[in-house]
Each structure stands twice: as C-alpha cells, then as structure tokens.
Amino acid sequence: MSAPLTLLDRLWSMHEVLRREDGSALLWVDRHLVHEGSHHAFARLAERGLPVAEPGLTFAVVDHYAPTRRAGPIADPAIARMIETLRGNAARHGVRLFDLDDPDQGIVHVVGPEQGLTLPGLLITCGDSHTSTHGAFGALAFGIGATEVAHVLATQTIWQRKPRAMRITVDGTLPLGVSAKDIALNWIARFGADGAQGHAVEYAGSAIRNLSMEGRMTLCNLTIEGGGRMGMVAPDEVSFAYLRDRPQAPRGNDWTRALDNWQALASDADARFDRDVVLSAEEIAPIVTWGTSPEQALPIDASVPIPETLPPAKAQAARAALDYMGLVPGRPLAGTPVDQVFIGSCTNGRIEDLRAAAAVLAGRKARVPGLVSPGSARVKAQAEQEGLDRVFTEAGLDWVASGCSMCVGMNGDLVAAGKRCASSTNRNFRGRQGKGARTHLMSPAMVAAAAVTGTLCDVRPLLKGRPV
Amino acid sequence: MAGWSEQRGKAVLLAMANIDTDQLIPARFMSTPRAQGYGRFLLHDVRRTSEGTLDPAFPLNAHPDACILVVGRNFGSGSSREAAVYALVDAGIRVVVAPSFGDIFAGNAVNNGLLPAQVTETDAELLTKALSSGPAQGSADLASRLLSIAGVSVPFQLDEVWRTKLLNGWDDIDLTRQHAADIAAYRARLVSEPGRFPFDRAS
C-alpha cells in the first residue's frame, strides 16, 4: 500500500516536470497572471530578447493602478505610464489583457476565478502575494517575485522547494455576524504573522465546508498574512457549482472528465501533516486589528492591550504600534471613532462581501465618508442589478469602479496621515493605505457597522431582525 | 549577477520585528525604473520624522555604509514586491540576519544575491546585545555558514539550493532552458487533460 497523501502532495507531484537531487523541483505553471507590477520582469525578458513561452496561459489585468473614477484621462502621468507599459507588453507578446474598459476587468484574484481561469488542480502563479486566494478551489497557487515572474514568462515553469504541510481544521457553526475574515484574523492573532511560515495551509472541517467559495477565497487570501505562501481547500460540490459555465471552464464531455479528476483532489483521511491544529467555530467572534501587523488583532469586545502586561517580545512592538495607531492602552476597542471606511480588495470585494455590508447599511446612514470598490466589473454589474449600489450611495458612501484601490493606494485612493480607516482589506502595515494612515482590518459587515456608528463597533446588534 | 562566498563590512542593528515590505519600500515608489536605483527608497518613511526630514537617531541614517543588517523576526513579510530587495541591495546591503523571514522575500533576496541569514532566537539576542551600543564590523561566510559580528560568532541556516545559487550567481532562466526537452514532453502530456488549458485555447 502506498503512503497516505495530502492535497499538497497530490498537487505538487502533478506539476513536477523534474526534480533535482537537492530536492528542488521544476514545476509546470498552468496559469500565469500578471498586472502592472510586471514591468520589471518584462524588462528583463526584453534585455535578453526572449519571447513569452506560453502567451495562451498568460493573462494580464489592470488592477493595482486602476483609477476607480474612470471618467476622463488619467491625471497622474506615473500611473498612466504603468498602465500603458502593461498594455504595450501584453500587445507585444500576444497576451490577453483585461483592460480598464473591459466588462471582465477587475482585481486579478477576483477575475481569475470569475472567468474560470482558476480551476481545481491547476498551478497558478502571479507576482502578488495574495495569489494564495486561488487555492480555495484546490489549486496550487502562490505569489512570486519579479525574477520569478520573468522566469515563468520565459519558460512557463518555476523552481520551488516543497513547503511543509499544515492543516487548520475549523469545526462547528460560525455564529451570526462572524465570517471567513474573522476565522483568518483569529488564527493569525493566535499563531502569529509568521505562524505558517514555510508551510502550505490546507483548511478543513465542517465550518470550512459550509463556507461559500467567496468565504473560502477570503480565507486562502489571508493565509499569506499568517506567513503561509499557499492556502488551499479541497474542491467539492460548492466549488464545482461556482465554476460550472464560467467562460474559461471546461464544457460538455471535458467538464465531466474534469469533474472525475477534481473529485480525487483531497487529502487522504490518514494523511500526516507537519502541523495540525483544530479551532472551534463557535468560539470565534467578530475581530478587528488594533496594531500594525495582522497578528495584532482582538475580538471587538476586548480592550486595547496594555503593553506592560504582554510578553516582553511583544510589548515593544505593541507600544510602537499603539503610538502609530493613536490608541490608549486599556480603553475598549469598541467606540474608537473612525474617520472613514473602505469596502473592497481581493480579500473582501466579492458579491457576498458587498451583500453582507449592504445588509447592515440598508436604510441607514453612514456617519463617516467611505469608498466601496467592487472586486471586478462583473461584481459591480451584479451588485447594481441587486440594488446594492443604491444601498451604499443612499447611506452616503461613494460607489466606484473596481481595482486594488485603497487597499494599497497605488492608484491615488489614499487615507490621509493620521486618519483612521475601518477597512475590509488585508494589511494594516504602517503607511499601507497612505503615509501615516491608521488601518483597522475587519470583515465587510464590521466595516459597514463602523460606517453606521462612526466608531469601531460590534456588528451583531445591528443585524438583529434583519435578513442576512 | 555575480556569485560571492564571503561578505565583510559594517553591521547595523534595526531592533524591530515584522519589518514588512511596505515599510522597506512604500508602494508610491514602485513605478520607478530599476535603472534609476532604488537605494534612496529603502525604509523611506521609517527613517524620516513626521516632518519628512531624516531622523538622525535612525541607525541607517548615521551609517549609510552598512553592509549587514541585524533585524527582528518576520523580516520582509507581506507583499511579494521584489522592489524591497532592490532597495536593500541598491543601498549596499548584502546580508540580512533575522530569526525568520517572509517566504517570498527570502526567495527574492537570493535571486538578487542578498543573503537572508536565519539564526536562532537565542543567537539573534546575542547579536542584538553585541550591536546595542552601535555598529561594528562583521562578516558572513557561505562555505562555513557562519556569521561573525562584533566578535560574536554564530551559525546561520540557509537552504542548500540557495547557498549554491548565491555562490554561483546563477541565472535560473539559462539553467531551465537546458531542460527544454523535459518541459516539452510534460506539455505534450497536458493536451489530453481537461481543464489544463483555458476553454478558448483547448483544442
């Protein structure tokens, strides 16, 4: 009998072109996604006069620098140049480009699954750390740097050492008002922002099975914030239902054959993991970050930590973070006034995220300004069909076009220095949303609650008697 | 990229954990072509006061000739931006010493000749103590996997594949193109597998 295998083992061996004696493997890349940041890699290709090896497996998306207000020409010449450079590189190499005016444009990690480019069993790379998102479909997906992007462009392969396998099992039922975002921030707070370093994380358990694809994508997306380069969920009926009839998914006989292959993509019941942890869904509460690392997170009913009471290794970082964030140790987190809100990003910019935020905002007014940027033009169109855009605009929030927007601020959507933003994004790093900006990460429903009250607050009372 | 076996130079302490790549280089500088140099962007906002002037108390401002950085855990976490490595390398840094590194950052570092030298928490504390009164001379040796900083010698961990790469300064693209036949054979097998090519490219 052969040794039991993990999902990681199966995906890895499927893609090995060859393995060197030193253990490093040359892996075939099924889909290579590129965005404006690929300019370094294309420049390297040009220096060497090399073509793109597989233009048919390479897809370019305008997202990081995409203006979210599309009327008129782009005012900032540096931003216009970044987008022009991507257009030029895509055209030169015959690569499909999802440009600003494309009805299928959006954030690369929203577009891939939406188009059916992301499928179970594929190996997907992109020069963006949140590529882990695509693992939600049972794909092997990870972010790479510019040198590696150039290598994939030139050869459609990548050299990698196999990471160790970690399993996070979440059993039970998530309480009302608690989402995939809270699961992720919960484990990152517990195990640290480097808790999964060197590991690929497989999510399992009944609470994960009960998540929609959107929720699974949020969870896999945030795996990198806990140090894991890859997150994954074994594909099941939920994944297949999501993918069926997507533009680039297999059809007819190919669909049936693909399903047969995909159903085998799971860890064996007796597979061994290098790390194996179990969490209880019932114990997870809506969570917000208070510091400048995603590990600095607490349930909304907690108080701002008192650095002196923390272990010495964490105390100094907490002091510096609280100073940057302008928070007073010992005060309740709830009630902290916010200056603005942001809903969007590859973490929480999908239709389900917008529905969750709209369920809180419907019939209410936002006390602070805010931006809602859907994850893709398709998500935007669907939200408008469902009337969600009116919920946001009637509440007083701005409804804009899709892109990475205020998650990273490259397109000019910035939080001003010293301003506090309740944000559905992935990084509360210093300066991430703008120089001196203070970011609190939380779920889209929690951001909506912050908009309604003008403060960090528990969304659960605001959901009473509402359809969710 | 040239290979190397030993680095010698000034070692500087940045006693901070979780220095992410957004801090190493803020996003607003990333549209700059590499030829213009990225060294001036390194830790751009961290090394300045809120008024925007260089903070004389920040170690790298007083010691722009640093070659070795000793830092806290989880260095280079976050965004995959290789620009973070460009900023370090262009500022003259050749070795970063930490108890742990972001996975993507560490790979990017090696691809640019920068050594991510991983040391134990205990050894990191020894080095931190040794540098707490100010910078000192240091060295990193790939053959013996040893660091010597301010008279303190400690081993560092480095994947064998990465050590070979730093020693030789190999370019992976050239290496991989030698395996063109294996790659073509693998690709030929894919054609019959449903889903491996996008629908509109599947034959």
pLDDT tens-place string over residues A273-308: 999 999 999 999 999 999 999 999 999 999 999 999
How far is it, in rounded angstroms, from Cα A340 to Cα A421?
5
pLDDT digit string (tens) for A240-265? 999 999 999 999 999 999 999 999 99
- Binary contact (B111, A429; C-beta < 8 A): no
pLDDT digit string (tens) for A120-154? 999 999 999 999 999 999 999 999 999 999 999 99
Question: In chain A, what percentage of residues exceed pLDDT 90?
Answer: 97
Closest Cα to residue A445, out of A51, A229, A181?
A: A181
Of all residues in chain B, the one with the smallest CA distance to A435 is: B45
Chain B positions in Cβ-Cβ contact with residue A433 (cut-off 8 Å): none
Residue A36 DSSP class: G
Query: Would A143 be classed as within a structural domain?
Result: yes
Closest Cα to residue A148, out of B187, B80, B184, B34?
A: B80
**What are the strands of the beta sheet with A157-160, ordered from one edge?**
A16-19, A25-28, A157-160
Residue B1 has pLDDT above 90, yes or no: no
- Binary contact (B199, A143; C-beta < 8 A): no
Residue B142 has pLDDT above 70, yes or no: yes
pLDDT digit string (tens) for B164-185? 999 999 888 988 989 999 999 9
- Binary contact (B74, A81; C-beta < 8 A): no
pLDDT on residue A465: 87
Indicate the helix (H) or strand (E) that contains B175: helix B172-177
Query: Would A281 be classed as within a structural domain?
Result: no
Q: Label each residue of A112-141 as H, E or C.
A: HHHHCCCCCCCEEEECCHHHHHHHHHCCEE
- Binary contact (A194, B31; C-beta < 8 A): no
Chain A positions in Cβ-Cβ contact with residue B82 (cut-off 8 Å): 40, 145-147
Residue A38 DSSP class: G
How far is it, in rounded angstroms, from Cα A50 to Cα A328?
56
Asked if residues A22 and B160 have their Cβ atoms less than 8 Å apart, the reply is yes
pLDDT on residue A96: 98
pLDDT on residue A82: 97
Cβ-based contacts under 8 A for chains A and B: 189
Of all residues in chain B, the one with the smallest CA distance to A318 is: B17
My answer on whether A92 and A144 are in the same domain is yes
On whether any CB of chain B is under 8 Å from the CB of A128, the answer is yes
Residue A330 has pLDDT above 90, yes or no: yes
Residue B41 has pLDDT above 60, yes or no: yes
pLDDT on residue A27: 98
Q: How many residues does chain B have?
A: 203
Structurally, chain A folds into a number of domains equal to 2
Chain B positions in Cβ-Cβ contact with residue A48 (cut-off 8 Å): 173
Query: Would A336 be classed as within a structural domain?
Result: yes
Mutate to test the interface with B, among A429, A433, A441 (most CBs of B within 10 A): A429
The A residues from 258 to 287 touching B (CB cutoff 8 Å) are 258, 261
On whether any CB of chain B is under 8 Å from the CB of A84, the answer is no
Residue A1 has pLDDT above 90, yes or no: no
Closest Cα to residue A123, out of A259, A246, A8, A31?
A: A31
My answer on whether A120 and A267 are in the same domain is yes
Q: How many residues does chain A have?
A: 468
pLDDT on residue A379: 98
The A residues from 50 to 69 touching B (CB cutoff 8 Å) are 50, 56-57, 65
Domain boundary among A275, A298, A329: A275
- Domain span at A427: 287-463
My answer on whether A226 and A351 are in the same domain is no
pLDDT digit string (tens) for A432-455? 999 999 999 999 999 999 999 999
My answer on whether A231 and A329 are in the same domain is no
Asked if residues A411 and A404 have their Cβ atoms less than 8 Å apart, the reply is yes
- Binary contact (A163, B103; C-beta < 8 A): yes
My answer on whether A367 and A416 are in the same domain is yes
How far is it, in rounded angstroms, from Cα A43 to Cα A49?
10
Query: Would A398 be classed as within a structural domain?
Result: yes
Residue B203 has pLDDT above 60, yes or no: no
Helix (H, G, I), strand (E, B) or coil at A257: helix
My answer on whether A301 and A217 are in the same domain is no
**Pairing outcome for strands A370-372 and A398-399:** parallel
- Binary contact (B198, A117; C-beta < 8 A): yes
pLDDT digit string (tens) for A314-326? 999 999 999 999 9
The overall average pLDDT reported for chain A is 97
* Tokens standing for residue A84: 């022009």
Residue ranges at the known binding site of A for [4Fe-4S] cluster: 346, 404, 407
User: CB-CB: which of B80, B100, B111 is closest to A129?
Assistant: B80
pLDDT digit string (tens) for A61-85? 999 999 999 988 999 999 999 999 9
Of all residues in chain A, the one with the smallest CA distance to B109 is: A145
**pLDDT, mean of residues B66-81:** 97
Domain boundary among A250, A275, A300: A275
pLDDT on residue B174: 85
User: CB-CB: which of A159, A224, A295 is closest to B172?
Assistant: A159
Residue A194 has pLDDT above 70, yes or no: yes
Which residue blocks in A156-245 are alpha helix, DSSP H? 180-191, 206-209, 213-221, 237-243
pLDDT on residue A46: 97
- Distance from A257 to chain B by nearest Cα, in Å? 7
Query: Would A16 be classed as within a structural domain?
Result: yes
How far is it, in rounded angstroms, from Cα A222 to Cα B78?
10
User: CB-CB: which of B30, B108, B176 is closest to A155?
Assistant: B176
Q: Where are the beta strands (DSSP E) in A148-306?
A: 157-160, 164-171, 199-204, 230-232, 275-280, 287-289, 297-299
The CATH number for B6-170, chosen from 2.70.98.30, 3.40.920.10, 3.20.19.10, 3.30.56.10, is: 3.20.19.10
- ipTM of model: 0.96
My answer on whether A252 and A341 are in the same domain is no
Chain A positions in Cβ-Cβ contact with residue B198 (cut-off 8 Å): 31, 56-57, 116-117, 248
Asked if residues A417 and A435 have their Cβ atoms less than 8 Å apart, the reply is yes
> How buried is residue A370: exposed, middle or buried, by Cβ count under 10 Å (0-12/13-18/19+)?
buried
CATH number at residue A87: 3.30.499.10
Task: Measure CA of the first residue to CA of the last residue in chain A; give whole Å.
Answer: 48
Distances (CA, A) of A67 to A62, A270, A401, A447: 10, 49, 8, 22
Q: Which residue has the tokens 């940041």?
A: A37
Helix (H, G, I), strand (E, B) or coil at A89: helix
Model-level pTM?
0.97
DSSP per-residue string spanning B57-106: TSHHHH-TTEEEEEE-SSBT-S---THHHHHHHHTT--EEEES-B-HHHH
Domain boundary among A223, A245, A275: A275
